[in-house]
Amino acid sequence: LTCQARLETPDFQLFKNGVAQEPVHLDSPAIKHQFLLTGDTQGRYRCRSGLSTGWTQLSKLLELTGPKSLPAPWLSMTPVSWVTPGLKTTAVCRGGLRGVTFLLRREGDHEFLEVPEAQEDVEATFPVHQPGNYSCSYRTDGEGALSEPSATVTIEELGPGPGSWPHGCLGLMVAKEFGQRMPKEWKAAPPPPVLMHRGESSQVLHPGNMVTLTCVAPLSGVDFQLRRGEKELLVPRSSTSPDRVFFHLNAVALGDGGHYTCRYRLHDNQNGWSGDSAPVELILSDETLPAPEFSPEPESSPEPESGRALRL
């Protein structure tokens, strides 16, 4: 246990369960002293340091309980919980103690990926290159028992999408003609972004209105694309954060109505596009009423019988 003084002093004293232990007198003044505990260490502890005229007041109470397993740390992935070429995925293991050794483990592997003591921090980072189920633990010294493992985090692998197949559409046509399939190592597309317009999924607009659509990706440093249907829209854009972009539709016209989506891909252009966002519908109105429908009831031939009543 470390007793920290406010001023340098050669004298320190430990109290256990209210009983004063033998005072310690150092050869030279120090700002702190470490008391080594042996045997039965359970108890309630306080300490005090020496003054020129006596002792300081007792420190706050510290209670040591019996041997228990260390609490589990918390594991997270940044920037996303998947791996793909060109993206650096990192595991962050965070505990509640400083100066511990963190260990990362992937399900099925027999060895830990170990990080030296985190002297000044309570967390450690690990590069992640393979998919799988990961958990982390820590220990207080080199040979000490491990803490409880963290909750498991699953890392998926995302590979190039169809847009990255060599020769583009021609390659797909040839593959279809000869009964070939897309390579098995290609995984699902990256998760879709979120497209927003004032937080609503549809909006009624008038010609000449200014519209801004916000596309937010689950990671930073990507290329964005806005589409209406299957057509890419090259419109002015701006950004205040590397994980989002603002598409500006200036002075919309009646023909600009429809369903808009956005998607993204990494800058290296090797992974194809992500899935499409949920659509945002823009409805353009010129404030005119639609023409009414005119029909007879009951429906009959164009020339009804003489004397028969019809409702129009």
Sequence letter at residue 144: G
pLDDT of residue 37: 86
Residuewise pLDDT in 10s, the chain (312 residues) = 999 999 999 999 999 999 999 999 999 999 999 998 887 888 899 999 999 889 999 999 998 876 667 788 999 998 888 887 777 889 999 987 777 889 999 999 888 888 877 767 788 899 998 999 999 999 877 667 788 899 999 998 876 554 444 434 433 343 344 333 333 344 556 789 999 988 666 778 888 889 999 999 988 888 999 999 999 999 999 999 989 999 999 888 888 889 999 999 887 656 678 889 999 999 888 766 566 777 777 665 556 666 677 677
Q: Does residue 274 contact residue 87 with C-beta atoms inside 8 Å?
A: no
* Rounded-to-integer distance, Cα 299 and Cα 145, Å: 86
pLDDT of residue 7: 93
pLDDT of residue 300: 59
Q: What residue ranges in 219-305 does DSSP mark as E strands?
A: 222-228, 231-233, 237-238, 244-249, 258-266, 280-284
* Rounded-to-integer distance, Cα 65 and Cα 57, Å: 24
pLDDT of residue 235: 94
Q: Which helix (H) or strand (E) holds 15?
A: strand 2-16
pLDDT of residue 299: 66
| Ordered strands of the 153-157 beta sheet | 82-83, 153-157, 132-139, 101-106, 113-115
pTM, two decimal places: 0.51
Chain centroid to Cα 261, Å, comes to 22
DSSP 3-state of 177: helix
The residues near 24 (Cβ < 8 Å, ≥ 6 apart) are 11, 12, 13, 14, 33, 35
pLDDT of residue 159: 61
Token reading at 107: 């399900």
Residue with tokens 């090259």, as numbered in its chain: 234
* Rounded-to-integer distance, Cα 78 and Cα 124, Å: 13
DSSP 3-state of 3: strand
Can you list the domains of the chain with their CATH numbers?
A: 2-64 (no CATH), 74-157 (2.60.40.10), 162-186 (no CATH), 194-284 (2.60.40.10)
Burial of 261 (0-12, 13-18, 19+ CB in 10 A): buried
CA distances from 184 to 81, 96, 160, 161, 194 (A): 21, 42, 11, 11, 28
pLDDT of residue 296: 74
pLDDT of residue 166: 40
